Structure 1
Amino acid sequence: MNRFRYSAIVLAALSALPTFATQIDQAKSIQNRTNQASAHSQTVIDKSASASIELKTSIERLREEVNNLRVYRNHLNTLIQSQNSEMASLEQQISDIKETRQGIVPLMYQMIEGLRQIVAQDKPIKLTQRQERIEKLTALMGRADVSEAEKYRRILEAYQIEMDYGNKIAAYQDEITTTDDVTREADILYVGRLSLVARSLNHQQFWSWDTQSRRWVDGDISHLAQINQAFDLANQQIAPALLDLPVSLTVAEAK
């Protein structure tokens, strides 16, 4: 009887083995699927983590670019404000220049006319050159390719030259017309605006400018030595010395 029970138990166990093996296989299969799912999940997690890191990196880079753009925008705003201020200043300067030009142009014409009157009333020192200079200034005023500043500078330069005639002693050659209505080439000497004399080219005769009659009058031949000495001094042929020359002054100038 016991042997029969044992045999039955053995048979029952043997009959249960296929079912148990199937369950083990199922468990292994589940385990494998679980492992695969875990591996897949880990791969997804790794990809997500990598994507998250890249996203954070991109966000940081974009944030830095935004900050740089903000700094650049502020810089541009500062430049624009500066340019607007400079533009307003230039517009004001242009307006001022227009107003100044409207005032300076008539003044320049008046100055040229003033030069013309000075030369006409003055002693005939380098008269031809001075008259030509005035005519050139008059022509210059009508030229569009020359700035107003350059025109004004030339006029001031002409006035400076006129002033220099009163501070220099110099000699040059030019034609004169004497009291006998004869036009001749002569050496001319001026000592500022105090004295203006002319000497014949052979050094044997001289004339002095008479401011009252505005003519060249014959000089006293006894003063010829002093006249020649004055010319030598003007030509830097002798050392400076005291000169004895006839003066060419009006009564008002002499006072």
Structure 2
Amino acid sequence: MKLKFTAILTGVFLALFLVRIGPGQTAEQGETGEKVRRTVSESVEIRKQTQKEREQWQEEKQELAAAYDRLQDKKTRLEKKQALLEKKKAAAEKRIAGKEKKLADIEQITKEIEPFVMQMADRLEEVVENDLPFLAAEREKRLERIRELTADPGKSVSEKYRRVMEALLVEAEYGNTIEAYEKNIEVDGRSLRANIFRLGRTGLFYQTMDQEECGWFNAAENSWEKLPAKYNKDIAGAIDIAAQRQPAELLTLPLGRMVVK
């Protein structure tokens, strides 16, 4: 294209040169030559401007093509990113659906467990009320905490269940242990300070501090009763074993009759 344009310019300049040097040039011919020169000059300017605009358009075309390529790359990246986000969204929706199902299951279980927890709390209170009178203050305090907990609407069912089960386990454990402690008791209208021996949940026995008198708790009569002096030695041994003052050994203790309430 540049070669062609250069050839055109050369032809134009040659024509101008011939017009200017022609022999015997008249005034009319001079005027005509001037018009030709102007016309040629204008054509040259137009062609220059056209070439300039064409070159500018080529540059803009290249810039637009480069911008288009960049936009295509960006579009590809965005499409990949969108596909990844769609996968994450689907996974999140699946997890949310799973969580919602778990919450619904928990709500259903809560509705079923709460009445059971209340029944167990009532049962625990009945056990303590009808049991042998040992560790009364400690056990009553535990019951009071359970009453407050089960009556509190702000506490979760899981917390209520856990605390009630813990209390039941403590009560159950009393059946597998022995214990010795001091306590004031009333026997036949007399107030005595005595050592108390607890044999699991099976029996309670007492011995006065001077070891001269011993007895047991009659669950059928709900009262302390005196035992024959022959049990003094075995009850004293049982108290020492519970207090870890001597090793375990076989002892003979009266258990009386089992009472069902």
Q: Which runs of 4+ in 1 moved over 6 A?
A: 17-35
Partner of 1:46: 55
Change (3 A) 1:21 1:173: farther
C-alpha distance in structure 2 between counterparts of 1:23 and 1:186, whole Å: 151
Most deviating of 73-82 and 16-25? 16-25
- Deviations along 1:117-167, whole A, 9 cap, x unmatched? 222332223233223322321221111232110011010001100111011
Superposition deviation, residue 17 in structure 1? 11
Q: State the one-letter code of the partner of 1:209.
A: F
Does residue 246 of the first structure (1) align with residue 253 of the second (2)?
Answer: yes
Most deviating of 157-166 and 92-101? 92-101
C-alpha distance in structure 2 between counterparts of 1:245 and 1:177, whole Å: 24
Partner of 1:220: 228
C-alpha distance in structure 2 between counterparts of 1:170 and 1:35, whole Å: 124
What is the aligned-residue identity percentage? 23
Secondary structure at 2:216 match in 1: strand
C-alpha distance in structure 2 between counterparts of 1:234 and 1:215, whole Å: 23
Contact 1:195 1:246 in 2 (8 A): no
Instruction: Find the partner of 2:205 among 194, 197, 214.
Output: 197
Most deviating of 86-95 and 143-152? 86-95
What is the TM-score normalised by the length of structure 1?
A: 0.74
Contact 1:204 1:224 in 2 (8 A): yes
Partner of 1:105: 114
Instruction: Find the partner of 2:168 among 126, 142, 159.
Output: 159
Partner of 2:129: 120
Contact 1:170 1:235 in 2 (8 A): yes
Q: State the one-letter code of the partner of 1:242.
A: E
Change (3 A) 1:209 1:21: same
Contact 1:196 1:247 in 2 (8 A): no
Superposition deviation, residue 221 in structure 1? 3.1
C-alpha distance in structure 2 between counterparts of 1:217 and 1:230, whole Å: 18
For residues 27-66 of structure 1, the aligned pairs below 5 Å read: 40-66=49-75
Superposition deviation, residue 31 in structure 1? 7.8
For residues 147-186 of structure 1, the aligned pairs below 5 Å read: 147-178=156-187, 180-186=188-194
Tell me how many residue pairs correspond in the alignment. Answer: 239
Instruction: Find the partner of 1:141 among 150, 166, 172.
Output: 150
Mark the runs of 5 or more structure 2 residues left unpaired by the alignment: 1-21
Contact 1:174 1:186 in 2 (8 A): yes
C-alpha distance in structure 2 between counterparts of 1:136 and 1:56, whole Å: 80
- Deviations along 1:15-45, whole A, 9 cap, x unmatched? 3599999999999888876765565444433
Q: For the aligned residues, what is the CA RMSD?
A: 3.4
Contact 1:187 1:198 in 2 (8 A): yes
Q: State the one-letter code of the partner of 1:248.
A: L
What is the TM-score normalised by the length of structure 2?
A: 0.73
Most deviating of 57-66 and 201-210? 201-210
C-alpha distance in structure 2 between counterparts of 1:191 and 1:30, whole Å: 134
Q: State the one-letter code of the partner of 1:120.
A: E
Contact 1:211 1:248 in 2 (8 A): no
C-alpha distance in structure 1 between counterparts of 2:210 and 2:43, whole Å: 136
